Amino acid sequence: MGRPRGFDEAEVVRAAAVLFAGRVYDGVSVDDLVTHLGVHRNSLYKTFGSKRGLYLAALRWYVEHEVGVLAATLRRAGDFEEAARRASDSGTGLDFLLLAAVERAPVDDEVAAEVDRALNAIDEALGTVTAVPQATAALLGLRLRAKALPDREDVTPDSSPRR
Amino acid sequence: MGRPRGFDEAEVVRAAAVLFAGRVYDGVSVDDLVTHLGVHRNSLYKTFGSKRGLYLAALRWYVEHEVGVLAATLRRAGDFEEAARRASDSGTGLDFLLLAAVERAPVDDEVAAEVDRALNAIDEALGTVTAVPQATAALLGLRLRAKALPDREDVTPDSSPRR
DNA sequence: ACCGTTGAGGAACGATCGTTCTTGACTGAT
DNA sequence: ATCAGTCAAGAACGATCGTTCCTCAACGGT
């Protein structure tokens, strides 16, 4: 019964994760989501309840899939150096986690729980590889630094802030 | 000439740094600033030009003062362990830097420049203390983790998000 | 004593936010 | 063929955003 959906829910969640990995929660508007995700405003609220609901769904998908893949990759590294290199090469592999940890986890317990899961997964993966204590922290710090201060040869032509 | 100011500019900048260290840039409204800083809306725009102007002033004050103090503290530590402990004890000592690096530096070159200054200062301070490579990254990662996942015995009664 | 200048006070602006409502198109089952 | 139920399309809502404007009070210089 009813009209069939014109969008793939899993694909919407995945695309949302990409958006939320690139900008702060408040920096991604519902208009942005509607435009880039190929899902209608109404369907978004029907399916996920709210912007936060979609954010949580995206975060959970990310922790379950992307972080799992990253952890497997790290496990295959020989030492911390190589693990760090692999983590950098994974591109946006840690970005969603970074943003969620810094800006949402402190004010949203459910986000904090997902962040906890992700960090534990990385801890466990790195534990099999290196004896360096706080290896996960170092990995996060490295990615943070790379994001904040990329080699600024270009001037990032697009995607200016909204206000 | 003219009516004398009813606020202390340095004090306003310092208080703004505290606010911006606690919440995301978009999470601190101009209303919040006006209410908590004891400066009038008009004076804020007259003195700092914009919300971003005040943010930059606060960040510069923070990098120059708080980070400098933190660096001196770190230099007095015996090894990385102790440096990490001192950094944690410094409370909000790294929080503003964390937020600025993750959420503003990627989209604001002037913020990125200040973040660079701060990171270099910490690098230099830690270099005199430990041979651990990426010590600064590890320090940031540790603080990030502590912020995201504090020992959640209490439920943080106040300061809920605005929307 | 007056005037030029500056800050305080607070209303008001247009834009954008997240969310909801209204309308109509499409579907499977009766 | 009809009807209940779901989704698409997009206008519209009140709230809040950063910023500006207008008016008056408080000062220094003449």
Give the rounded distance of the alpha carbon of A122 from its chain centre. 14
What residues in chain B have their Cβ under 8 A from chain A's Cβ atoms?
A: 24-27, 84, 98-103, 105-109, 112, 115-116, 119, 134, 136-142, 144-145, 147-150, 152, 156, 159-161
How many Å from the CA of A40 to C1' of D8? 7
Average pLDDT over residues A91-115: 94
How many Å from the CA of B28 to C1' of D28? 37
Q: What percent of chain B has pLDDT over 70?
A: 90
pLDDT-based confidence at residue A152 (cuts at 50, 70, 90): low
Tell me the nearest-neighbour CA distance from A158 into chain B, angstroms: 10
Residue nearest to nucleotide D21 (CA to C1'): B42
Average pLDDT over residues B44-72: 95
Interface test with A, best of B94, B98, B103 (most A CBs within 10 A): B103
Residue nearest to nucleotide C10 (CA to C1'): B41
pLDDT in tens, B135-153: 999 999 999 999 999 876 5
Residue A162: predicted pLDDT = 42
pLDDT in tens, A30-54: 999 999 998 999 999 999 999 999 9
Residue A122 has pLDDT above 60, yes or no: yes
Which chain A residues 18-37 have CB under 7 A to strand D?
none
- Pull the structure tokens for residue A22: 């690139």
**Strand D contact with A2 (CB < 7 A):** yes
Q: What percent of chain A has pLDDT over 90?
A: 69
DSSP secondary structure letter of residue A25: G
Q: Of the candidates A26, A138, A147, which has its C-beta nearest B24's C-beta?
A: A26
Average pLDDT over residues A111-115: 97
pLDDT averaged over chain B?
88
